[in-house]
């Protein structure tokens, strides 16, 4: 299934079901009653986002291969509460699965998980997924497990973040000097934009449109899917393809709920969830490519920034040196194995 803007908007959680092949050895009795393991999956993305579509596909395949024993019910778009709420529910056992940003919410419990969001570190998706399917990802998953949580092997794609502004395009680091830009509240965002001489302001996302409209801030940064969904093109003129940060979603599980399932059932659940993550990664890449054309049609003026120029400024500002001290030599060296030397 390929994703462009049209089927992104039209496809809901009742999207095309992937027919699962193979059945668990031995004759199982088909159950007419409720599933033995009826678990909730909480996410903060719209129902039509590729992440939710692929999790729903995986859920359907899991239900079929386990002969109805496992039913994963997807609750998109913060239906179960905001990220801090869902994270608390997961840890308490009120929520069985939750997709969480490594650079933001997860970092409140596992600070080093935010290494996925180091500014201008990852050059492209190939580099990102080599790192998080490789040694860096294995290390971060180990830290997550030490925090008494279950984590699936494959990280899901939230895409690279871009900068939009109402005043001028961001082509060089100098264009950010003194600019008032909205960022999430995470440590990495504040540090990155201060190092680039901007004036970052933490503003709740539900207030971003009005803050841009009233010029409380001049710009903001997000993946293109967010720019489109929130109609930020109505209050912004320029979109600079900076690719300044990448972030993804780890699919976490409550340990007690996970261990209630037999090992053979867990294997089926992981198999389909991880396969869904691999498909979703490409969905998001295709979606963002189609959205650029759509947003140009809505009036946004696009340009591509010189990432190397930004990296040089960050090096001069000791940004990478400070991040290395925060994350530690082991984690930093694992990242640089894939990104090349940054500090």
Question: By the 8 A CB rule, do 22 and 65 touch?
Answer: yes
Q: Are residues 110 and 225 in the same domain?
A: no
Q: Are residues 131 and 75 in the same domain?
A: yes
Mean pLDDT of 273-293: 95
Supply the pLDDT for residue 26: 40
Give 33 or 287, the one with higher predicted confidence: 287
pTM: 0.87
Structure tokens at 53: 């579509």
What is the sign of the dihedral through the CA atoms of 318, 323, 324 and 328? positive
Q: Are residues 75 and 128 in the same domain?
A: yes
Structure tokens at 149: 């949580």
Supply the pLDDT for residue 7: 53
Instruction: Give the tens place of pLDDT for each residue, 303-312.
Output: 999 999 999 9
For residue 63, is pLDDT > 50? Answer: yes
Question: Rounded CA gap, 336 and 343, in Å?
Answer: 9
Among residues 3, 280, 279, 276, which one has the least CA distance to residue 158? 280
Phi and psi at residue 108, in whole multiples of 5°? Answer: -70, -25
Instruction: Give the tens place of pLDDT for each residue, 140-191.
Output: 999 999 999 999 999 999 999 999 999 999 999 999 999 999 998 789 999 9
Question: Rounded CA gap, 316 and 202, in Å?
Answer: 25
Which CATH number does the domain housing residue 41 bear? 3.40.190.170
Q: Are residues 141 and 256 in the same domain?
A: yes
Mean pLDDT of 183-211: 92
Q: Are residues 48 and 196 in the same domain?
A: no
What is the sign of the dihedral through the CA atoms of 327, 138, 270 and 263? negative
Instruction: Give the tens place of pLDDT for each residue, 34-44.
Output: 899 999 999 98
Structure tokens at 279: 């498909």
Q: Are residues 185 and 143 in the same domain?
A: no
Q: Are residues 125 and 238 in the same domain?
A: no
Number of domains in the chain: 2
Instruction: Give the tens place of pLDDT for each residue, 227-244.
Output: 998 899 999 999 999 999
Q: What is the extent of the structural domain holding 50?
A: 5-159+248-291
**Mean confidence (pLDDT) of the chain:** 91
Share of the chain above pLDDT 90, in %: 82
Question: By the 8 A CB rule, do 286 and 3 touch?
Answer: yes
**314: CB partners within 8 A, 6+ apart:** 119, 120, 192, 195, 196, 320
Phi and psi at residue 305, in whole multiples of 5°? Answer: -85, 160
Question: Rounded CA gap, 15 and 219, in Å?
Answer: 35
Q: Are residues 24 and 83 in the same domain?
A: yes
Supply the pLDDT for residue 225: 86
Q: Are residues 146 and 278 in the same domain?
A: yes
Q: Are residues 50 and 74 in the same domain?
A: yes
Q: Are residues 168 and 269 in the same domain?
A: no
Q: Are residues 139 and 37 in the same domain?
A: yes
How far is residue 254 from each of residues 36, 81, 107, 185, measured CA to CA in Å?
Answer: 17, 17, 17, 26
Question: Rounded CA gap, 147 and 106, in Å?
Answer: 11
Mean pLDDT of 285-292: 92
């Amino acid at each position: 299934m390929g994703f462009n803007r049209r089927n992104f908007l039209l496809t809901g959680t009742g999207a095309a079901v992937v027919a699962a092949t193979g059945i668990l050895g031995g004759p199982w009795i088909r159950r007419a009653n409720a599933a033995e393991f009826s678990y909730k999956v909480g996410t903060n993305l719209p129902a039509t986002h590729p992440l939710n579509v692929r999790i729903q596909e995986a859920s359907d395949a899991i239900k079929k291969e386990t002969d109805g024993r496992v039913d994963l019910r997807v609750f998109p778009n913060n239906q179960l509460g905001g990220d801090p709420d869902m994270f608390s529910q997961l840890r308490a056992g009120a929520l069985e699965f939750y997709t969480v940003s490594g650079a933001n919410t997860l970092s409140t419990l596992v600070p080093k998980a935010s290494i996925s969001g180091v500014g201008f570190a990852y050059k492209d998706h190939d580099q990102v997924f080599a790192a998080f399917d490789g040694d860096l990802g294995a290390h971060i998953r180990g830290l997550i497990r030490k925090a008494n949580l279950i984590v699936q092997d494959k990280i899901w794609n939230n895409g690279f973040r871009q900068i939009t502004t109402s005043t001028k395009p961001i082509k060089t680091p100098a264009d950010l000097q003194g600019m008032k830009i909205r960022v999430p509240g995470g440590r990495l965002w504040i540090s990155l934009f201060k190092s680039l001489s901007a004036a970052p302001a933490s503003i709740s996302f539900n207030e971003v449109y009005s803050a841009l409209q009233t010029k409380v801030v001049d710009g903001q940064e997000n993946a293109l899917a967010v720019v489109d969904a929130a109609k930020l093109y109505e209050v912004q003129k320029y979109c600079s393809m900076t690719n300044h940060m990448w972030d993804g979603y780890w699919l976490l599980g409550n340990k007690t709920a996970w261990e209630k399932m037999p090992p053979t059932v867990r294997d089926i659940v992981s198999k389909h969830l991880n396969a869904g993550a691999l498909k979703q990664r490409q969905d998001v890449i295709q979606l963002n490519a189609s959205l650029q054309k759509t947003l140009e049609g809505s009036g946004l003026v696009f340009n591509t920034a010189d990432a190397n120029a930004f990296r040089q400024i960050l090096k001069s500002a000791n940004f990478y040196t400070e991040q290395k001290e925060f994350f530690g030599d082991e984690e930093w060296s694992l990242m640089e194995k894939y990104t090349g030397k940054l500090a």
